[in-house]
Amino acid sequence: MMQSLCSRLMRLAILTSLPLGIGTPLTVHAQAAQGPEPHTEAAVIADDDGWSKAEADGDVAYVDHLLMPEYRSVNADGSVHTKDAILGGVRKVASSPEAAAARAAATAKWRASHRHVTTSVISGDMAILTFLVADVDGPSKPVSSCDIFVYQDGHWRAIYSQHSEAGQ
């Protein structure tokens, strides 16, 4: 589960540059009920950004809406996490101000010590977001992450994530 937390912290740190609002659910989820979102790179990137913020803020409704029932995340160590496991982590943050504060502190520390390169591509109703992340000081191997989204019923929804150590 620690590897999963590190992966989520990486996603949060990569995609956010705004301070975290601890204990306050995101309003982005409410937008999903207002109708279809654009079939654009900017929209899927915003959803991925919202996902990271939702995990940090404990916004279970946002993460539940965004992740498809079949969602899987595979970490660099080979461990697999389902949608239910991810939601369990979000619920823990939602139920504990201490957990939310700890996640915010870990994310801020991580963000300060890492650089990243992000790319994205849309092909039909599939979007692939990739992230290459490395320590600023270089003591650890870079990590490459990929999130795959499907545009379904007017919304981008995550179906798969992969995190692995990148070659030198």
**Number of domain units in the chain:** 1
At 120, give phi and psi (nearest 5°): -150, 155
Global pTM value:
0.73
Give CA–CA dist 113/134, Å, rounded: 9
Q: The tokens of 83 are what?
A: 């949608």
DSSP codes of every residue in 33-64: TTSPPPSSHHHHHHHHHHHHHHHHHT-HHHHH
- Mean pLDDT throughout 126-138? 78
Please, what is the angle between helix 2-15 and helix 41-57, to 10°?
A: 130
Give CA–CA dist 68/87, Å, rounded: 12
How high is the pLDDT of residue 21?
Answer: 35
**What are residue 72's DSSP bridge partners?**
82, 160
Show the domain range for 78.
2-165
The identity of residue 54, as a single letter, is: A
The CATH number of whichever domain residue 8 belongs to comes to 3.10.450.50
> Tens digit of pLDDT for each residue in 54-99?
888 889 999 999 999 999 999 888 999 999 999 999 998 889 888 7
**Which percentage of the chain shows pLDDT scores above 70?**
68
143-152 and 155-165 strand pairing: antiparallel
The band of 4, judged by pLDDT with boundaries at 50, 70 and 90, is: very low
